[in-house]
Structure 1
Amino acid sequence: MPRTSSVVLAAGAALLVRRAVRRRIATSPLWPMPALETPISGQGGRRVPSLRLAVAERAVPAEGVALLRLESPAGTPLPEWQPGAHLDLVLPSGLVRQYSLCGDPADRATYTVATRLIEDGRGGSREVHEELREGAELVVRGPRNRFPLTEAPSYAFVAGGIGITPVLPMLRAVEAAGAEWRLLYGGRSRATMPFLDEIEKLGGERVTVVAEDESGLPDAAAFLAGTGEGAAVYCCGPEPLMDAVATALPEGRTLHLERFTPGASTAQLGTFEVELRRTGRTLTVPAGRSVLATVRDELPNVSYSCEQGFCGTCQQRVLEGEIDHQDELLTDAERQDSMLICVSRCLGRKLVLDL
C-alpha cells in the first residue's frame, strides 16, 4: 500500500520510521545530494567548463515537448550530477539556454533534457525543436545545481507542465531511498504532460494529476494541508503556481523553488551610476533599463545571452558598490564580488565594474 502523509503514527513509531528512512537514504548511491557548483562566467576572467556533445536520440514525450539524449562523440563518461541539476546548452546560434536534467544520474553515458516549445518566446526553445536533430553537436556547460534535493522526514512535490523535469529524478531518488513522498502534477491537458505514465506507475495513489481541461487549476493549499511536520516542499512551474504554493505553505515545512524567470527586482525603478574603471567612463543607468543595455551602448562587444539571469554569460566583476542580486545562478561566494549585469542592479547610488 503506498504511504501517504495522512498516515498517523504514534510518536515513538514515527521516530523509528524517520530513523530507518535516514539510514536507507544514507546508504543509497544517490545520497547525500550536495549542490554541484560549477563556475560559469562571461567576461569575469574565470574559465568556463564545457563539453561538446552529440544528440544521440530525439523524442516527443508529450505534445509540444522535445526530449534530447546527449552523449560524448568519443564515448567518454560524462560528469556526475544529482537530482535538481541543469545544463547550459550553447545553441548553434550562440544563444545559451538552461534545461533541467531529467534522466538517471547513474547513467554516465548520456544526459537527458526536455523542453517545451514557447511560441512567443525569445527563440531558444524553437531552435531546440527545429535545429537539434539526431547527430547534431553542441556545446554544453555544467552540470550545475541550484535546486538540490536535501534530506527530510517526508517530501511534497508540486510541478506544473515542463516543471516536472527537475522533479522527476527527485521522485526516483526518494522512492529508491524508501522515503515518504507525494506529488501534485498539473498541466493544460494530459497530452501535454511529459512522463505522465512513468510517474503514475511510480507513485500510484501518491500522485495527484490535475489536467486543466478536465479539472481546472491545481489546489495547492489542499494538497499542502496533507503534508507532515518538517516536510520538504519542492516546486517548479509557472510563476502563479509557485506563488500559490508559497502562499499556502504550512508552518514547519521548508520550500524549495526552481524558477523559469527571475524574480522581481526591489530596485527596478532606481537610477544609479556605473563606472567602467578600465574604460574610464561613468554611465547613468535609468529606471527601467538594465545595466547590460547601458554598458553595451559604450562597449557593444560585452557578451550576453539569456538576459534573464540564468546563463552567466554577462557576469562581471564588481570593484565597488552594493549589488541588488536578481539572478538565479551565482553562488553566495561569487556574489561577493560579481554580478550578472542583465538583471542585477545597484542598491545604492553607484557601482564600479572591472570593465
Structure 2
Amino acid sequence: MTTMPSHDSIRAVLWRGDRLRLLDQRRLPFVEDYIDCTTPAEVAQAIRDLVVRGAPAIGIAAAWGVVLAARRGSDALAEALPMLRAARPTAVNLMWALDRMQRAIAAGADALALEGEAQAIQDEDLAANRHMGELGAALLGDGVGVLTHCNTGSLATAGFGTALGVVRAGVSAGHITQVFAGETRPWLQGARLTMWELVRDGIPATLISDSAAAHLMASGKVQWVIVGADRIAANGDTANKIGTYQLAIVARHHGAKVMVVAPWSTVDLETPTGADIEIELRDPAELLSHAGQRTVVDGAVAWNPVFDVTPASLIDAIVTERGVVTSPATSGMRGLA
C-alpha cells in the first residue's frame, strides 16, 4: 500500500538538540506557533495545558522531558520523573514511556544514551502508525464512509496518526469515499485540529456537530467509526475522548462498525477492565467558557470528564502495530503480548 507524501506533512513534537519544540495545539488552526521547552517542568506544564496532547505524543514529550532532566544531573532526574508522571492520569502511554526511560536509567544510561532512547520511542511510534494505517485500511472494504472523533493524527503522535493514519491510508488506497469529523467538545479537537490536518493534507472532509452523529449514521453514510484510545484494558474495554462511548452505541444500532486504533503502548494488560481506568476530570471552566469568555450564567456548575470507556462488546476491531484483534476480549488482547 502506498501512502501519498501529501497525506503526511505534519510533525508536532520536534527535538532540537538542546530543547523540545512543541506545536502549540491550543492556538490552531489560525496560529501555527511553537513553544520551546528547556526544562522537564516546562514539558510537564505543556502536557497539563494541552500544548501537546494525544496519548502517543504525550509519552514522546515526556521521554524528551527525561532527557532534559538528565542533562541537569541526578537530582533533577529524580525530581522530574514523578512530576512528568503526574502531568495527566488517563493516557497510559505517558506511564509506558517514562517506565521505559526509567529502565534505561537503571541500566546505567547517561544523558546521551537517554537521548537515543527517546528518539527510538519517537521513531518507533511513527513506524507503528504507518503499519497500523495499512492494517486498518485493509479492514475497510471499498467505497466506505468513515466518522472519526477527536484528533488522532500527526498532532497526537510522532506523525501520520493512529485512527487518522487509517483514514490517510484508506484514502490513499481508494477505500474511503467520505470522511466525517465530529467537532469534539469542549476543546473542539475535531473541529480545530482534525479538520486542519485533513485540509492541509488534501483529504476532503466534512465537519459535523457531535450531536449530529446519530442522524448522520441513520442516513447510511457511515460504515466505520474509527477512533483512537488513551488506554485499552486487558479485556478490550477502551478509554477514549468523551463522546466515543455514545458513538459506539449509535454505530451498533445503525449497523456501522467501530475500529479502535492505538499502538501497543496504549494497551494496559495490568488493568483488567474499563471499570478500573481512572477518568480524568478537568476544570469545569472549560465547559462554562469559550475562548476565555464565559458563555453560561453565573452560578451554573459543570461536570467535565474528558474520557469515557467503550465496552469491548461494542468494538469490532482493535488495531495495533502487533496485529488486529476482532471482537476483542482478554484472550485476544493477551495473544498479541
Please say whether Structure 1 and Structure 2 have the same fold, judged by a TM-score greater than 0.5. no
TM-score, L = length of structure 2: 0.38
Give the structure with the larger strand fraction.
Answer: 1
User: Quick check: which has more Rg, 1 or 2?
Assistant: 1
